[in-house]
Structure 1
Amino acid sequence: MALYQRAPYTTADPQTILENESDAEEEALVNDYQEQVQFEDGPDDFDQMASYGGGGQQQDMQAQLVNAAQPLEYQATLETKFASYDNYCNLFHYILNSEGPVDLEVPSYYWAWDVIDEFIYQFESFCRYRNRVARTSDPSDPDFPVLRENPNTWGCYSVLNVLYSLIQRSEITAQLDAMKRNEDPMAVAGEYGSRPLYRMLGYFSIIGLLRVHCLLGDFSLALKTLDDIELNKKAMFARVMAAHFTTYYYVGFSYMMMRRYADAIRMFSHILVYVSRTKNFQKKEGASYDSISKKNDQMYALVAICVAFHPTKLDDTIHTALREKYAEQLTRLQRGGPDSLPLFEELFRSACPKFITPTPPDFDTPSANPDPVDHHLAIFMDEVRSNMFSPLIKSYLKLYTTMDLKKLAGFLETDADTLRGWLLVNKQRSRQVRWSEGGLLDGEVVNANELDYALEGDLIHVSEAKVGRRLADWYLRNLVRTY
C-alpha cells in the first residue's frame, strides 16, 4: 500500500461485498429476522416436533431451567458463583444422565441459546477472576484460600465435557448431516435428539464450543467445530440475533489470528451489514441490544486491523462507519512503521475476546500466571512487527519495475540483509489461504498482495500481482533460493 495513494479500501462493487451470499439472500435473511423478533412464528425443521412436558414434571426442575438462562449479577459474591456452578452441574447431570430422555418443557425458543451463552460467560468470568486473584497473591483476600482449595470449580474439563456430551446425546451432528443431504433428520435423531430440549441444547453447544476454543486460543479447533453447520440464512443460529452475532465474531477473529485476513473481513462484513439493516428490530430485544452494540464496535476495530494487513474494498455501510470511527487511526495503521505499534495494541486489546487459561492458576507462584490477553497480544504484535515496514516497502516498489536491493535498503535506512529478510517475510505473508467452499478450515492458497516481486542477486524485479499461478510459484522459489 503506497503512502501517497488513496486509502486501500473504497466503495465496493455490490457483487464483491459478500462472496458467498447474493443480495437476494441477504434481503431474505433480514426479512426473516424481522419476522422472528418475537419468535411467535410457526414450526420449522428444528422445532416441528410437539412440545414435551406435562403435569408429571417437578416444579423445581422447571424453575432451574428458567434460572439457568438468567444472567448472574455483575457483583455476585464468590459464594453465589460457586452455587451457580453447582446448579448448572445438577441441571446438566439431570438432563444427560437420567434414565431415558427427560420430559421437560423448554421455557422459550431463546432459552437454549441463553442457557449455553450464560453458562460459558460465567465460566469465562470465573476463570479470569481466579487468575487475577492468583496473580495478586494477596493472602488477606478472603477469596484467596477458597479459590486455592477448589481448583476444579468451573474447571475447563467440566465445561467442555458438558458441551460435548450435549452434542453427543442429541445426535445433532448426524441430524445436520442428514439435513445437508435433504433427508429427514428425525431418522437419525434417536430418542434424545427427537426432543426439542436435547436438540436445541446440542445445536447451540456447537456454537458454545466455537467460543470456548477461541477463548482458549485454539483457533483451528474453534473453526473445526463448525464443520456441520453451514453459515447461511437457513442456519438455526441465524434466528437468534445474539447467537448469529457471536458466531460470526468468533469465526472472524479466529481467521484473523490465523492470518487469513480476507476470510476474516468477509465474516465481519456479513454480520456488520446485517446488524446495520436490522438495528431497529434489535432494540426490541432489550438488554441484548447493548451487548450487540458493544461487539459491533469491537468488530469495526478488528476490520480496521485486517484492512491494514490486507487492503481491500468494503461495503458502503462499513466503509462509512469505519471512517467515522477510525479516520485518524486508519491513516496511521496504513502508514505502518514503529508509530503504528501502539495503535495496533490498543485496538487489539479493545476488540479481542477475554482469553482464559485451560488450567487452574498456581497460587504459590504468582509469576507463573501470565495474563492470557497479554500472551495472545504478544503473539499478535510479533506478526505486526514482522509486517510494519510492508506499506513503506510497497510504496517504493510501486515506483519501479526493477530496483537495486542496496538502494532500497538505503531509502529505508537499514542494511541489505535485514531488508532481504523483510522481503522474504512479506512474500510468505502475501500467500494466504482463502475459503471458497467446504469446511471453514478449507481453502486455496492465493496471492493477497497487489504487487509481486522476485530477487535475482541484488536486484528486485517487481510486477503486478495479476500473474498466473505458475509464475507466482516461480517467483516464490526464486526468492527462497536467492535468500
Structure 2
Amino acid sequence: MSVRQAPAYQQPPAQREPNDDSDVEEEALASTYREQVTYQDGADYDLDRVPSANAPQDLQAQLVQAAQPLEYQATIETKISSYDQYCNLFHFILNSEGPVDIDVPSNFWAWDVIDEFIYQFNAFCAYRQKVALQQSSTQVNEDEVAILRENPSTWGCYSVLNVLYSLIQRSQISEQLAATKRGEDPGAYKGEYGGRPLYQMLGYFSILGLLRVHCLLGDFSLALKTIDDIELNKRAMFARVMAANFSTYYHVGFSYMMMHRYADALRNFNHILVYVSRTKNFQKNQQYDSITKKNDQMYALVAICVAFHPTRLDDTIHTALREKYGEQFTRMQRGGPEALPIFEELFRVACPRFISPTPPDFDNPSANIDPVEHHLAIFMEEVKTNMFAPTVRSYLKLYTTMDLTKLAGFLEVDSETLRGWLLVNKQRSRQIRHSGEGGLLEGEMVNSGDLDYAMEGDLIHVSEAKVGRKLVDWYLRNLARTY
C-alpha cells in the first residue's frame, strides 16, 4: 500500500520527548504534517511525471529524481529503464570506495525514494502477472510479452530484497536502533557509514520497506519480525512522515489480522485512523484523495477484525464504521453463509496488491496462480470456519449449563458438527496479545472472548470470561493513554 504524494523536501523540526500520556506529541505530529502541507502550497502537484530518458549525471539530481512518481500508464520500456536507474543509483551508494559524501535533500526524501522504489516493484510484478494470466486474450500485446520473456530478472524479488537488506546492513541502522532501545549510545554502533544521513535514513526506511515487501509476499510473521528494532509510538522517526506513518500501521495491522491476532490488529488500525481524523483538515488535492482511499480500506479491515473479535471501539472509529458499512457490518457480526460474500468483497477492497516471489511462466499460463486469489482463498477458509461462531455465542450467553443435543436442535445441525464448532470457537477465542514489550511477534496468550465454556460429556458449562473482561479493560486504558 503506497500513499502517493509529492515529496516535501525540508528538514523536520527537532524531536521532542514529552510524557507519552499527554497530547503534546500528538499535536507535534499534526504540526509537522501541517508544515509539510504548507510547504507545498502553490506547488504544481504533478504526481504522474515520467523520468527523463536522459538521466541526470549529478548525484544530487539523481537522488531527487529517484523520489519522483512514475506515470501510471508508462510504457514497459520506461518501467525497465526506471529499474535500471534505481539499480545504478543504489549500486553507487552501496559500493563506492567509502561512504558517499553528499547532503541529502531531507529526511522525508529517504522515505519517498524507498516508497517509490517498492511501489514500482509492486506495480510491475502485478502487471507482469496480469499479462501472464491473460496471455490467451486477444488484447495482450505480443511485443510486451516478448520483452517480459527477455527480462525475467527485471524488478525481481531477489534484487529488491537485496537492495533493502544491503542498505540496512551498510548503515548498521538495526544495531543503532537496538542500542537505543537498550538505553545505550547508538553512536558506538554507527561505524563509517551509519553516521552519514544518506545511509542512516535510507537504512531506516528500508526496514519499513521490508515490512511492506514481506507483507506483499504473504510472509506475515517475517514482516513483523523485520521491525523488531523500531518502536511503534508517536516519537518514532517514521511518525514524522504521514505516508510512512500510514503505511507502517496498515501493514502491521494487516499482518496481525492474517495471523488471527485481531486485538493487536485493531489496536494498530485504531491508532492511525484516529490520527488521520485529527489531521484531515490539512489534507488536500491528490494527497487527500490517496489518503481517503486508504482510509476506507482500513475501515474495511476494522469491520473484518471486529466481526471476528467483537470489542469496543473508539467513538470516532465506531461512528465512521457504521456510516461506511452499516448494514454490511451488521450482517458480518451475525455470521452465517449470507455473510461470506461481504467478507470476500471487503477483503478484495482492503488487501495489499499481493505479488508472487517468482516470475510467471509465460510458456504454461495455466500454471500461474493469482496471488490475490490465493490469499483470498486462505482468508475465506478462516471465515467459513468461524461463520457460525456468532450464532453459537448468542445461544451460550443465555445459559450457564446446556445440553449439547438441545443446542444442536436449536441450530438444526447434528451433535458432532456442533461439537466441532464449539472446539473451533474455543480455540479461536484464545489469541496472542502483544503486551507492549519485546518484538511484535511476542505476547501472552489470553482469552479474547466475553464468555468461556467447558464440555463435560454432552453438557456445556458456560461462564463469564474474566480474562476477556481484563482484555477489554486493558484495550481501553491503552487507547486512552495513546491519545
Q: Report deviation, 1:454.
A: 1.1
**What is residue 180 of structure 1 aligned with on the other side?**
181
Q: RMSD of aligned C-alpha atoms? A: 2.0
Q: Which residue of structure 2 lines up, in the alignment, with residue 62 of structure 1? A: 60
Q: Name the aligned partner's letter for residue 104 of structure 1.
A: I
* Residues 174-219 of structure 1: CA deviation (Å, up to 9, x unaligned): 1112222333322211121111100000000000000000000000
Residues 67-123 of structure 1 show CA distances to partners (whole Å, capped at 9, x for unaligned) of 110000010000000000000000000000000011222123321000000000000
In the alignment, does 2:344 pair up with 1:345?
yes
CA distance in 1, matches of 2:457, 2:430: 22
Aligned partner of 2:450 in structure 1 is 450
- CA spacing shift, 1:60–1:387, aligned 2, 3 Å: same
Alignment of 1:106-117 (within 5 A): 106-117=104-115
Deviations 1:144-182 (A, max 9, x none): 111112110000000000000000000101111222233
Residue identity in the other structure for 2:101? D
- The whole-number CA distance in structure 2 between the counterparts of 1:250 and 1:292 is 15
Q: Tell me how far apart the structure 2 counterparts of residues 181 and 36 of structure 1 sit (CA, whole Å).
A: 30
* Bigger mean CA offset, 106-115 vs 207-216: 106-115
Give the partner amino acid of 2:26: L
Q: Distance in 2 between matches of 1:280 and 1:127?
A: 35
| 2:329 alignment partner in structure 1 | 330
The code of the aligned residue for 2:456 comes to E
In 1, are the aligned partners of 2:269 and 2:298 still within 8 Å (CA)?
yes
Contact 2:447 2:468 in 1 (8 A): no
Q: Deviations over 1:293-348 (max 9, x none)?
A: 21111000100000001111111110111111111111100110000000000000
Structure 1: how far apart are the matches of 2:144 and 2:112?
A: 28
> Structure 1 residues 422, 153: closer, same or farther in 2, change over 3 A?
same
Instruction: Pick one of 10, 23, 30 that aligns with 1:33.
Output: 30
Map Cα deviations across residues 392-445 of structure 1 (whole Å, 9 max, x no partner): 111111111111111111111111111111111111101000000211001000
Counterpart check, 1:152 vs 2:153: yes
With over 3 angstroms needed to count, the CA separation of the structure-2 counterparts of 1:229 and 1:468, relative to structure 1, is closer
In 2, Cα distance between the equivalents of 1:330 and 1:296? 17
SS at match of 1:161: helix
Please name the residue that 1:236 is paired with. Answer: 237
Residue 166 of structure 2 is matched in structure 1 by 165
Distance in 2 (alpha carbons) for counterparts of 1:279 and 1:140: 42
Instruction: Determine what percentage of the aligned residue pairs are the same residue.
Output: 75
Question: The residue matched to 1:191 in structure 2 has which SS?
Answer: coil
Q: 117, 121, 124: which is aligned to 1:123?
A: 121
Query: Does the residue aligned with 2:58 lie in a helix, a strand or coil?
Result: helix
Where 1:445 maps in the other structure, the secondary structure is strand
Is the CA contact 2:25–2:235 (under 8 Å) kept in the aligned structure 1? Answer: no
Name the structure 2 match of 1:7. Answer: none
Q: What secondary structure does 1:278 align onto? A: helix
**Per the alignment, do residues 266 and 468 of structure 1 end up closer, same or farther by CA in structure 2, a change over 3 Å counting?**
closer
Aligned partners of 2:324, 2:141: CA distance in 1, in Å? 44
TM-score normalised to structure 1 length = 0.86
- Give the structure-2-normalised TM-score: 0.86
Measured after TM superposition, the shift of residue 282 of structure 1 is 3.4
- Residue 96 of structure 1 contacts residue 166 of structure 1 at CA under 8 Å; is this kept in 2? yes
Amino acid at match of 2:325: Y
SS at match of 2:239: helix
1:59 offset after TM fit, Å?
Answer: 4.8
- The 1:22–1:375 alpha-carbon spacing in structure 2 relative to 1, beyond 3 Å, is farther
Q: For this pair of structures, how many residues does the alignment match?
A: 431
1:369 and 1:258 mapped to 2: Cα distance? Answer: 25
Aligned runs of 1:58-97 on 2, under 5 Å? 59-97=57-95
Given residue 442 of structure 2, which amino acid in structure 1 is its aligned partner?
D
1:24 Cα deviation from its structure 2 partner: 3.7
Distance apart, 1:30 and its partner CA: 3.0
- SS of the residue 1:74 aligns to: coil
Residue pair 2:447, 2:467 contacting (<8 A) in 1 also: no
The aligned counterpart of 2:466 is 466
> C-alpha separation between the residues in 2 aligned to 1:129 and 1:385?
31
1:80 is aligned with what amino acid?
Answer: T
For each residue in 1:13-42, what CA deviation from the matched residue of structure 2 results, as whole angstroms up to 9, or x when unmatched? Answer: xxxxxxxx99844542232331454369xx
Is the contact made by 1:30 and 1:278 (CA closer than 8 Å) also made in structure 2?
Answer: no
Provide the residue aligned with 2:217 in structure 1.
216
Q: Within 1, Cα distance between the matches of 2:394 and 2:383?
A: 18
DSSP-derived class of the 2:432 partner = strand
What are structure 1's unaligned runs of at least 5 residues? 1-20, 41-57, 470-483
Please report how far the alpha carbon of residue 362 of structure 1 lies from its aligned counterpart in structure 2 after TM superposition.
Answer: 0.7
Contact persistence 1:30–1:274 (CA under 8 A):
no
User: CA–CA distance in 1 between the matches of 2:82 and 2:23?
Assistant: 40
Say if 1:378 and 1:289 are closer, same or farther in 2 by CA, change over 3 A. Answer: same
1:272-421 paired onto structure 2 within 5 Å? 272-283=273-284, 286-421=285-420
Given that 2:114 and 2:206 are in contact with CA atoms closer than 8 Å, whether structure 1 keeps it comes out as: yes
- What is the distance in 2 between the residues matched to 1:432 and 1:134? 39
- Does the C-alpha gap of structure 1 residues 22 and 392 become closer, same or farther in structure 2, counting only changes over 3 Å? farther
CA positional deviation for 1:356: 0.3
Q: Distance in 2 between matches of 1:329 and 1:22?
A: 40
> Which residue is equivalent to 1:247?
248
Q: Aligned-pair distance for 1:278?
A: 1.3
1:34, 1:281 within 8 Å by CA — same for their partners in 2? no
> Does the CA contact (< 8 Å) of 2:32 and 2:240 recur in 1?
no
What residue is the counterpart of 1:45 in the other structure?
none
Match of 2:3 in 1: none
1:203 aligns with 2:204: yes
Report the CA distance shift for 1:467/1:150 in structure 2 as closer, same or farther (over 3 A): closer
Counterpart of 2:444, as a letter, is: E
Give the letter aligned to residue 406 of structure 1.
T
Letter in 2 for 1:412: L
3-state SS, counterpart of residue 463 of structure 1: strand
Using a 3 Å threshold, how does the CA distance of structure 1 residues 204 and 468 change in structure 2: closer, same or farther?
closer
8 Å contact from structure 2 (residues 449, 468) kept in 1: no
Where structure 2 has 5 or more consecutive residues not aligned to the other structure, the ranges are: 1-17, 38-55, 470-483
Distance of 2:240 and 2:397 partners within structure 1: 47
Look up the match of 1:44: none
Q: For the residues of structure 2 that align with 1:149 and 1:39, how far apart are their CA atoms?
A: 42
**Which amino acid in structure 1 is aligned with residue 377 of structure 2?**
A
